[in-house]
Amino acid sequence: MTRLIVAAGGGGDAVAAAMLHAALYGDQDQAVIVTYAWDRLLIDPLPGPRRPADFTGLERLTPAVWRVPAQARPIAPAGSTLPRLAADLPHTFALLDPYQGAEGLTHQLEDLVSHLEPESIDLLDVGGDILARGDEPTLRSPLADALALAACCQVNAPVRLLVAGPGLDGELLPADLSDMLGSVVHTFTASEAETISPVLEWHPSEATGVLAATARGARGICEIRDAGLPVPLTDDSPTVHEVDLDDAVSRNQLARAIMATEHLDEAEAYSREICGYSEIDYERNKALWLKDQQPAALDPSAIWPQLDQFEAEARARSITHTTFRRITEALNLSGSQRDDLRRLLINSRPEQYDAPLWLIPIAAE
């Protein structure tokens, strides 16, 4: 039997999909995880998602959908975590191409359903921003989720919408989601988090990393992203909720507006109109800004006083954990330096590594 899991927001949700499959379906079935190649600027210096033409080595899975095998490679200067995910996880990864708008995504999903005849179809979002109205001031990346939602609700097959880790992406508060969340389908455990632990050693996803950490028992407040968004880590954090798909569409203004779009730029225009911005515009602007910046050198002797100052300021904000992406950006380092910084910190202060997060120590008396 085949299980089809649609990762609503891209790479991080695809990693979480592997943990979800292990938790709900075990080893009996195979999963096809369909996802965007949209790794943001930490991995990919080009704004927006990648399309099939941006890769070499893809394999045709259906007439409309390409499989990303381990040997596939993004064409420089593009970057993508998908080939490495395919190498590290026992699942088939298929590429969602949003450049044909929601209509194109719907066609791709229907082609997959027709070809695979899956036992189940789950649409997974970590954090819950797929349930945003569109006007929330904390919302940062509504477009990818809205496109996935718009496509899934038009597929001629039953699709179950699942939200894991409510509020863990820092975009909506758990309280903003409570009226939409249905029953708890599952609560992730430490052993289930271990199924993706090797991936989280290198993958930059913050929301899925925080989800795995809470499954292992991390509690407190975690600071994420370049903006330093505070995310509460509670007993509800490692839960997975079912949400009525029709209710989600009724709430998500952007998803409703883009259902008939045939091009990504059309969907972007609706995002600017409804939400006031496009997340790809944000990436375009940030990419231009980064091009003119000279990242700091990774000098260990300079890192420690900078890190100590960052941790002292984080403690003053009642922060207990943070991500390596957050530290990388706070210390004015580039995304390519993240892995080296991570190794330096873990090797030097292993007691502060609360996998896959960094623990902010309590101030000495």
Question: Cβ distance 266 to 137 under 8 Å?
Answer: no
Cβ neighbour number for residue 115 with a 10 Å cutoff: 15
Question: Cβ distance 244 to 221 under 8 Å?
Answer: no
Tell me the pairing of strands 184-187 and 239-243: antiparallel
Question: Residues 251, 332: one domain?
Answer: no
pLDDT at residue 41, rounded to an integer: 83
pLDDT at residue 238, rounded to an integer: 98
DSSP state of 263: S
- The structural domain count of the chain equals 2
Question: Residues 163, 309: one domain?
Answer: no
Instruction: Give the model confidence (pLDDT) of 309-348 as tens digits.
Output: 999 999 999 999 999 999 999 998 888 899 999 999 999 9
Residue 146 belongs to some domain of the structure = yes
364 falls in which pLDDT band (50, 70, 90)? low
* Average pLDDT over the chain, rounded to an integer: 95
Residue 49 belongs to some domain of the structure = yes
Structure tokens at 142: 């509504």
Instruction: Give the model confidence (pLDDT) of 62-91 as tens digits.
Output: 999 999 999 999 999 999 999 999 999 999
Is the confidence at residue 269, as pLDDT, over 60? Answer: yes
Q: Domain boundary residue among 194, 222, 257? A: 257
DSSP state of 88: H
Structure tokens at 171: 């975009």
CA distance 25 to 199: 20
Mean pLDDT of 194-215: 96
Q: Is the dihedral of CA 251, 253, 255, 260 positive or negative?
A: positive
Instruction: Give the model confidence (pLDDT) of 31-52 as tens digits.
Output: 999 999 999 887 899 999 999 9
Instruction: Give the model confidence (pLDDT) of 147-159 as tens digits.
Output: 999 999 999 999 9
DSSP state of 134: S
CA distance 311 to 315: 6
Question: Residues 305, 214: one domain?
Answer: no
Question: Residues 321, 191: one domain?
Answer: no
Phi, psi dihedrals of residue 212, rounded to the nearest 5°: -65, -40
**Domain limits at 334?**
300-359
Percent of the chain scoring above 90 in pLDDT:
86
Mean pLDDT of 208-227: 96
Is the confidence at residue 122, as pLDDT, over 70? Answer: yes
Question: Residues 70, 217: one domain?
Answer: yes
Question: Residues 186, 53: one domain?
Answer: yes
Residue 30 belongs to some domain of the structure = yes
Question: Residues 15, 110: one domain?
Answer: yes
Residue 144 belongs to some domain of the structure = yes
Question: Residues 222, 344: one domain?
Answer: no
Residue 240 belongs to some domain of the structure = yes
Question: Residues 58, 166: one domain?
Answer: yes
What global pTM score does this model have? 0.96
Residue 282 belongs to some domain of the structure = no
Is the confidence at residue 365, as pLDDT, over 60? Answer: no
What element of type H or E holds 137?
Answer: none
pLDDT at residue 310, rounded to an integer: 97
Is the confidence at residue 119, as pLDDT, over 60? Answer: yes
The residue behind tokens 């997959």 is: 112
Question: Residues 99, 234: one domain?
Answer: yes
The Cβ-side half-sphere exposure at 343, using a 13 Å CA radius, reads 6
Percent of the chain scoring above 70 in pLDDT:
99
5 falls in which pLDDT band (50, 70, 90)? very high
pLDDT at residue 194, rounded to an integer: 96
Question: Residues 240, 105: one domain?
Answer: yes
pLDDT at residue 11, rounded to an integer: 82
Question: Cβ distance 204 to 42 under 8 Å?
Answer: yes
Residue 14 belongs to some domain of the structure = yes
Nearest to 90 by CA among 136, 34, 31: 31
pLDDT at residue 293, rounded to an integer: 77
Question: Residues 213, 320: one domain?
Answer: no
Residue 139 belongs to some domain of the structure = yes
Residue 160 pairs in a beta bridge with: 122
The residue behind tokens 């179950």 is: 160
Q: Domain boundary residue among 228, 257, 286? A: 257
Nearest to 332 by CA among 298, 307, 301, 295: 295
